[in-house]
Amino acid sequence: MSIMKISCIAIDDEPLAVKKIAGYIQKVPFLELVAECRNASEAMIVLGEKDIQLMFVDINMPDISGMEFVKSLTNKPYIVFTTAYSEYAVDGFQVEAIDYLLKPITFPNFLKAANKVKTLIDLKATGQKESVRTTANHLFVKSEYKLIRINLDDIEYIESQHEYIKIQLGNSKQVMTQLSLSSIEEQLPSDRFMRVHRSFIVNLAKISVIERNRIVFDGKVYIPVSEQYKERFQEYIKGNFV
């Protein structure tokens, strides 16, 4: 049985960097390299001629940055940003990037990002409508035709990814389900969970580090607190942090 492949392009103005990403794509059985592009103009030509499902895009490029390029697209493929600067991760959330890879990029980190995209595409292919319900201490969600019970205390944060959400657990496991962030927000106890961004809900009990209006998990995941939710979040901080 042949493997359905995800069509990809790699975009980076640095020749060695784009070759590295292209090489990683070719190593993953479920990815298909369609083109290597040195700038946004080359990428636009490919997008106009081919059905591209996934783009690995460098943020720092001349003429137009990777971020500006992605924002300009009407019909976006799945996006994974590559960058040498970790602070761009927050900006990536604004355009609903699936992930960002910090240079120098290792193959295990690349594969992890690729698997995130594959999970989303596989879920979409099922055409399955997922549902959610809660008890006092547990969340029940349907994912890939299974009903999964999740302990509320195990949830670190919940992230919106296109028409799906990712429930990130403290044991590094993730559960993907076809729900809107608003629908799951309605089911969660408001004294334990708070929406801090249009793409994020956090477990308040799991917050230990806040840095420049960003909540930091595991020293590497930076969740932005947007203006819309900042006032409520700051009130919580004043009442619970010394």
* Stretch 24-38: mean pLDDT: 97
As a whole number, the mean pLDDT across the chain is 87
Q: Could you check whether the bond before residue 104 is cis, i.e. omega within 30 degrees of 0? A: yes
* Domains along the sequence of the chain with CATH: 6-125 (3.40.50.2300), 132-240 (2.40.50.1020)
Quick one: angle between helices 107-126 and 15-27, nearest 10? Answer: 50
91 pLDDT higher than 60:
no
Q: What percent of the chain has pLDDT over 70?
A: 91
| β-sheet bridge partners, residue 139 | 134, 150
Q: How far apart are CA 26 and CA 30, in angstroms?
A: 9
Q: How far apart are CA 237 and CA 242, in angstroms?
A: 9
pLDDT for the residue numbered 119: 81
pLDDT for the residue numbered 38: 95
pLDDT for the residue numbered 128: 52
24 pLDDT higher than 50:
yes
Is the Cβ–Cβ distance between 85 and 104 less than 8 Å? no
* Stretch 171-191: mean pLDDT: 86
1 pLDDT higher than 50:
no
Q: How far apart are CA 23 and CA 230, in angstroms?
A: 42
Q: Is the pTM of this model over 0.85?
A: no
Residues with Cβ < 8 Å from 46, sequence gap 6 or more? Answer: 9, 34, 35, 37, 52
Residue 63: pLDDT band by 50, 70, 90 thresholds? Answer: confident
pLDDT tens-digit readout, 117-151: 888 788 777 655 546 767 778 888 887 777 888 99
Q: How far apart are CA 156 and CA 206, in angstroms?
A: 6
Residue 87: pLDDT band by 50, 70, 90 thresholds? Answer: low
115 pLDDT higher than 60:
yes
Amino acid identity, position 93: F
Q: How far apart are CA 231 and CA 52, in angstroms?
A: 40
